[in-house]
Amino acid sequence: MTEPTDPSTPRVGVDEWVASHEGRRAHRAGVAGRVERELARVPRPAFYLAFGAVAALLPAFTSNGYTIRVGFDTLLYMLLALGLNITVGYAGLLDLGYIAFYGFGAYGYAMLASPKFGVHWDTLAVIPVVVVATAILGLLVALPSRRLLGDYLAIVTLFFGQLFVTVYQNGEAMSVLGFTKKYDVTGGPNGIPNIDNFNAFGFHVGSLQAYYYVALAVFLAVLAAVYLVDRSRTGRAWRSLREDPLAAELMGIPVNRLKLVAFACGAAIAGLAGTMFAALNTAVFAADFDVPTLIIVYAMLILGGAGSIGGVILGAVVVNVSLEVLRTPGHATWVFFVLLAATLVARMRPWRWVAVVLGGTIAFGFAVHAIVSAVWPRGVHGQAAVGGILGSGLRHWVVLPSNPMTIGNVAFVCLVLAVLGVTLLHGRLQKLALVPTLYLAIFVWENRLAVEPSVTRLILVGVILIVLMNARPQGLLGTSRVEIV
Amino acid sequence: MWRGAAGRTAPPLRPPQNRNLFVTELVAGVSHGSVYALIALGYSMVYGILKLLNFAHGDVYMVGSFIGFGIITVFGGPLNLHVSVWLMLFLMFFCAMLGGGLLGVMIERFAYRRLRNAPRIAPLITALGVSFFLENAAQLVLGAQYQSYNAFSWTNSAIALKHFGLPAHAVISYAQVIVVVGAVVLMVFLTLFVQRTQLGKAMRATSFDREAAAMMGIDVDRVIVATFFIGSALAGAAGVFNGIAYQQVWPYMGFQAGLYAFIAAVVGGIGNLPGAVLGGLVIGLAQAFSIGYLSSTFSDAIVFAILIAVMIARPSGLLGRAAVQKV
């Protein structure tokens, strides 16, 4: 907050617009606003340390291998999102070949520490080599498009990512432009198996717990580095070129060089994450580094808020844990209903409408169920995706055809159209239209989406990107930008 | 998963009886290039007006292809049509173009319109999301396996080229002729539309300077909707052409084809319509010849090399004019 000054005499050396920046930000009123302001006064590193402490306790609470594995994956995703955050969040470059650098790191580790070529380097030697090589690769990819608009960079990197997968997937018989003998470089679709574990300072990292702690330590170290860079001269320059490259150049900031540096930094972090991926999985396949992984990392970054380190952590946890939960239809159904209710409560004002819509949906459901069971008895003989109380309740409420394939697919298309239609309506009409749409959503969920989790998760990731960009482009933790006048 | 069970192997691109490599690759390149060019036109039109890379465009092409497949399924099974082939061809193109166009308009209305004044990265990420959503929704609804247009296997019967003074074993198929002729017809219509009609004039004006066009009384929203409709209708038609010529359609076909078309648009000069056609031909020929003479693995690498070379030598594309950045 600015100190009260006499408005007629500007203070010397202070830009009034910048000084009053905080005052013009929209703040929430009431208790929520006060909590927000108090939290904003806690220095950021305290949050990161708290996160590190909580994360370090995870293996102490559970010895379940699956949970720790999910934790490790989440840490890897966090690391990936952190690197992407530099390129996309700080420097504003759309890097769509990011996952190729991840794959390059993984394959790099695999080639230097596996029986494939009989090379077994020490981990402490492999990692720097791989990280530097990935950074150089990043530089080479970004170089041709350095003078061009961001769109061209997006195309070049997207195609580079595709090229990476093609070449590595077909790399079992590579020759130099068809002139030399054919060499097996990447193992082709079989990948590279039997990769060595991490092995440094005489310690042999063998167990899942150990990998978890290695990943946590690496993540915190990178986090600290990124935090410091963000607050440095370079970090400020990145943000300025993201906001307005032309103005930044006029201020004497070496825009092209900083873009390349940001790109290489992101690539290096992805390469580092790749080495850990390869070491824990003990095998790498090119198909792991294709577009779906890229989109998932983007969803994490966007959900948390591009440009915010805390957002990266939050986004990776939320997206990865929800994608894991989706694998079990029973859990996923609970989460789905809780989310539907939470969205209604959060978005609908006044709250009595929530009760009206929910009550209307329940009544509507019973009516539809009664009609369908009278007209078409086979339409209610299917199985709910969830057991227990919820499942037996749903059986009397949702229409569950014994063969839901075709009707479910038609309903899915109708659902998409209905949701789009609802966004066009206003006021009471919208709330009325919400009742059948909700029922349709639950119908589609129970009959199609919950039973095919592998596709559903990818559909949901796409939806997250579209909805967030339209509704809240700054994500959960990012700050909305102050409009420049 | 992403490439489906069939891995990354492309479907067979040409009838196996072709023997003369050069002519074969030339024909395959031109017919592939025509499909790329049709998709690239849509990319270029949208980019010219909104400065938006519409990643979902390739998936509109996929949807168009499946609409054509749906028409085949409705009117009789493989090789057993209940209606005249010409009527069915007409229906396929009509429905695919209409459906593709409407899909494009919906994407614009619900995903991009609110982001028109947002920072440029926001619509790009939305476009990625739309593309990803369409692909996976298609996989949910249509299944992940390849579907075949085999009602049209007659189109692969060859026309011997002996009578035209070409080498003896060179053979081209009816399908390839249909694709090339159809693409040229559509391009002629598009050119006439953009050059001669009032809406086409409004499009050119909007693409030149959106704000100034709005000040001159052009309804920019309407122009944008029309652009999306026409561009997406072309992509829908390209989907049917692809189905007729190469038989196979599946939910992820849009991504790869969209990417090539993209590069075609950039190589030709993005925002420039003749450039998109030229770029499509260049990319189609480069791909065909590198598959024929080098190896199919590296055709991607050759195309990538062309893209990089063009971007270094002529950053605004082969036919594009150098953009002057305005402050």
For B126, the closest of A163, A461, A469 (CB atoms) is A469
Q: Collect all residues with Cβ–Cβ distance below 8 Å to B255 and sequence separation of at least 6.
A: A291, B58, B59, B131, B135
CA distances from B161 to B14, B167, B287 (A): 16, 8, 23
pLDDT-derived band at A25, boundaries 50, 70, 90: low
Q: pLDDT at residue A93 above 80?
A: yes
Mean pLDDT of A452-480: 84
- Highest mean pLDDT out of A11-25, A110-124, A275-289: A275-289
B2 to A160: CB separation less than 8 angstroms, yes or no: no
pLDDT-derived band at A22, boundaries 50, 70, 90: low
Q: What is the distance in angstroms between the Cα of A120 and the nearest Cα belonging to chain B?
A: 29
pLDDT at B52: 87
Contact A440, A446 (CB under 8 A): no
pLDDT-derived band at A401, boundaries 50, 70, 90: confident
> Scanning every residue of chain B, which has its alpha carbon at the shortest distance from the alpha carbon of A246?
B327
Fold of the CATH domain A45-325: ABC transporter involved in vitamin B12 uptake, BtuC (1.10.3470)
Per-residue pLDDT tens over the stretch B94-106: 999 999 999 999 9
For A459, the closest of B2, B123, B140 (CB atoms) is B140
In chain A, what are the domain boundaries? 1-41, 45-325, 331-451
A287 touches chain B (CB under 8 A): yes
pLDDT at B193: 93
A462 to B141: CB separation less than 8 angstroms, yes or no: no
Per-residue pLDDT tens over the stretch A115-171: 888 888 888 889 999 999 999 999 998 887 666 566 788 888 888 998 888 888 887
Other beta carbons within 10 angstroms of residue B26's beta carbon come to 18
B311 to A160: CB separation less than 8 angstroms, yes or no: no
- Highest mean pLDDT out of A117-126, A152-161, A194-203, B132-141: B132-141
- One DSSP character per residue, A55-117 reads HHHHHHH---HHHHHHHHHHHHHHHHHHHHIIIIIIS----TTHHHHHHHHHHHHHHHEETTT
For A420, the closest of B106, B119, B126 (CB atoms) is B106
Q: Mean pLDDT over all residues of chain B?
A: 82
pLDDT at B151: 59
Q: pLDDT at residue A392 above 90?
A: no
pLDDT at B177: 83
Mean pLDDT of B190-204: 92
Reported as half-sphere exposure (CB side, CA atoms, 13 A), residue A157 has a value of: 30
> Scanning every residue of chain B, which has its alpha carbon at the shortest distance from the alpha carbon of A190?
B7
- Write out chain B residues lying below 8 Å of A463, CB-based: 129, 133
pLDDT at B196: 92
Residue of B46, B105, B132 to mutate for A, most A C-beta atoms under 10 A? B132
> Scanning every residue of chain B, which has its alpha carbon at the shortest distance from the alpha carbon of A411?
B141
- Write out chain A residues lying below 8 Å of B7, CB-based: 169, 189
For A298, the closest of B128, B259, B312 (CB atoms) is B128
pLDDT at B7: 38
Higher pLDDT among residues A382 and A259, named by residue: A259
pLDDT at B10: 45
pLDDT at B16: 45
Burial class (CB in 10 A: 0-12, 13-18, 19+), A210: middle
Q: pLDDT at residue A247 above 60?
A: yes
Pull the structure tokens for residue A154. 């997006």
Q: pLDDT at residue B13 above 80?
A: no
Residues above pLDDT 90, as percent of chain B: 40
A145 touches chain B (CB under 8 A): yes
Identify which of B204, B254, B280 has the alpha carbon closest to the alpha carbon of residue B67: B254
Q: Distance (Å, rounded) from C-alpha A120 to C-alpha A195?
A: 9
A455 touches chain B (CB under 8 A): yes
Q: Distance (Å, rounded) from C-alpha B225 to C-alpha B113?
A: 10
A and B: number of Cβ contacts within 8 A? 152
Q: pLDDT at residue A6 above 50?
A: yes
Residue of A455, A463, A481, A483 to mutate for B, most B C-beta atoms under 10 A? A455
Q: pLDDT at residue A33 above 70?
A: yes
Q: pLDDT at residue B92 above 60?
A: yes
Q: Collect all residues with Cβ–Cβ distance below 8 Å to A128 and sequence separation of at least 6.
A: none
Residues above pLDDT 90, as percent of chain A: 25
pLDDT at A332: 84
A166 to B300: CB separation less than 8 angstroms, yes or no: yes
Pull the structure tokens for residue A269. 């972090």
Q: pLDDT at residue A480 above 80?
A: no
Q: Distance (Å, rounded) from C-alpha B142 to C-alpha B146?
A: 10
- Write out chain A residues lying below 8 Å of B139, CB-based: 455
Contact B240, B93 (CB under 8 A): yes
B308 to A147: CB separation less than 8 angstroms, yes or no: no
Burial class (CB in 10 A: 0-12, 13-18, 19+), A462: buried
Lowest mean pLDDT among A380-389, A469-478, B68-77: A380-389
Per-residue pLDDT tens over the stretch A320-329: 998 888 888 7
Per-residue pLDDT tens over the stretch B235-293: 999 999 988 888 788 888 888 888 899 899 989 888 888 899 999 999 999 998 888 88
For A163, the closest of B125, B136, B300 (CB atoms) is B300
Higher pLDDT among residues A257 and B17, named by residue: A257
In chain B, what are the domain boundaries? 46-253
Mean pLDDT of A331-335: 84
Per-residue pLDDT tens over the stretch B210-230: 889 999 999 999 999 999 999
pLDDT at B159: 57
pLDDT-derived band at B190, boundaries 50, 70, 90: very high
Q: pLDDT at residue A386 above 50?
A: yes
- Write out chain A residues lying below 8 Å of B3, CB-based: 287, 290
Report ipTM (2 d.p.): 0.86
Q: pLDDT at residue B83 above 70?
A: no
Q: Distance (Å, rounded) from C-alpha A96 to C-alpha A301?
A: 13
| CA B178 from centre of chain | 15
pLDDT-derived band at B4, boundaries 50, 70, 90: very low
pLDDT at A179: 62
pLDDT at A476: 78
Per-residue pLDDT tens over the stretch B49-81: 888 889 999 999 999 999 998 888 887 655 555
Mean pLDDT of A226-249: 88
